[in-house]
Amino acid sequence: MRFFDALTFQHQLLRTLIDRDIRSRYQGALFGLFWTVLNPMFLLAMYTFVFTVIFRSRWVVPETDEAAAAATSGTFGFATLLFCGLILHAFLAEIISASPRLILQNKNYVKRVVFPLEILPMVITGTAVFHFLIKLVVLLGFVLVINHTLPITALLAPLVFLPLILMGVGLAWMFSALGVYLRDLNQIITPLLTGLLFLGPILYPAEAVPEQVRLLMHLNPLSVPVEEMRRVLIFGSLPYWTALLYYTAASLLVSALGYMWFNAAKRGFADVV
């Protein structure tokens, strides 16, 4: 029960800390929060140019999947599919990259007995959700411009994204606690994030992976969300409910284990930091 309480308690404190974290990142910048829109628009324009003009890439889909074939047949199909995967990777990467040094950067909270330290990983997760939603709006706008419509299945996007949020906060609890004791963790994060990018269906479709290793690819925590998000946002198809259900169960397990590990490890934070 305490695990679920941690996901829902201290609403006001969580909102305040997320708001402060977002504002602090853009404080003093000329365009302020407008950068959250400019950056994804620039990335989308860059990916569109590189992969449609220079590489002339095409997204290989099964011939029997008519919805996927229609969505990828246009000039900008590849860029749209690529951007959809990249914004999900950026979401998880933002959480994982910030987690190892999270407690060390907030030493003042460790000394406060009454402060709920477990809320800090939830704060960086909330900030990552904010950035993802901005990029999602840019993606939806791009899909609307090139297709002149949005699929009704886009309404299911929150059901696809919610398990990834649970996965993200679980990993944040794990890595933030481990980062206090293992300072080398920061050096491991970069190759880990690179592996998540290249060893999942982000830069290429899952069908491009040989059948014998495809199951291994789905151990990537981004594989299911990326495939299902493309399905509901771009292909206009219903998600594979079985895969989504298994992934949700795995996300809940990771979150629960991450929370338990954080609470067990935080007892020694004051002695280490």
Domain positions in the chain: 2-6+18-272
64: pLDDT strictly greater than 60: no
| Longest Cα–Cα distance in the chain | 60
Per residue in 215-258, pLDDT (tens digit) is: 888 889 999 999 999 999 988 889 999 999 999 999 999 999 99
**Model pTM above 0.85:** yes
How many Å from the N-terminal Cα to the C-terminal Cα in the chain?
A: 29
Q: Where is pLDDT greater, at 6 or 122?
A: 122
| pLDDT band with cut points at 50, 70 and 90 for residue 273 | confident
pLDDT of the residue at 248: 97
Q: Is the pLDDT of residue 184 over 50?
A: yes
pLDDT tens track for 19-46: 998 888 877 655 666 777 777 778 778 8
Cα–Cα distance list, 69 to 103, 195, 242, 263 (Å): 47, 28, 23, 48
Whether the CB-CB separation of 58 and 72 falls below 8 Å is answered with yes
- pLDDT confidence of residue 2: 55
Amino acid letter, 174: M
Mean pLDDT, residues 52-76 taken together: 63
Which pLDDT score is estimated for 209?
Answer: 83
Residues ≥6 apart with Cβ < 8 Å to 158? none
Residue 170, pLDDT score: 96
Q: What percent of the chain clears pLDDT 90, i.e. is strictly above it? A: 44
Q: How far apart are the C-alpha atoms of 235 and 66, rounded to whole Å?
A: 9
Q: Which pLDDT score is estimated for 214?
A: 82
Q: CA–CA separation, 131 vs 183, rounded Å?
A: 27
**Residue 176 main-chain phi, psi, to 5 deg:** -70, -35
Give the closest residue to 226 by CA, choosing from 248, 207, 202.
202
Answer yes or no: is pLDDT of 1 > 50.
no
Convert the chain into a string of H (helix), E (strand) and C (coil). CHHHHHHHCCHHHHHHHHHHHHHHHHCCCCCHHHHHHHHHHHHHHHHHHHHHHHCCCCCCCCCCCHHHHHHCCCCCHHHHHHHHHHHHHHHHHHHHHHCCCCCHHHHHHHCCCCCCCCHHHHHHHHHHHHHHHHHHHHHHHHHHHHHCCCCHHHHHHHHHHHHHHHHHHHHHHHHHHHHHHCCCHHHHHHHHHHHHHHCCCCCCCHHHCCHHHHHHHCCCCCHHHHHHHHHHHHHCCCCCHHHHHHHHHHHHHHHHHHHHHHHHHHHHHHHHC
d(CA 87, CA 71): 19
Average pLDDT, the chain: 85
Which has more pLDDT, 109 or 98? 98
Q: What are the pLDDT digits (tens) for 130-156?
A: 999 999 998 999 888 888 889 999 999
Q: How confident is the model at residue 30, as a pLDDT?
A: 56
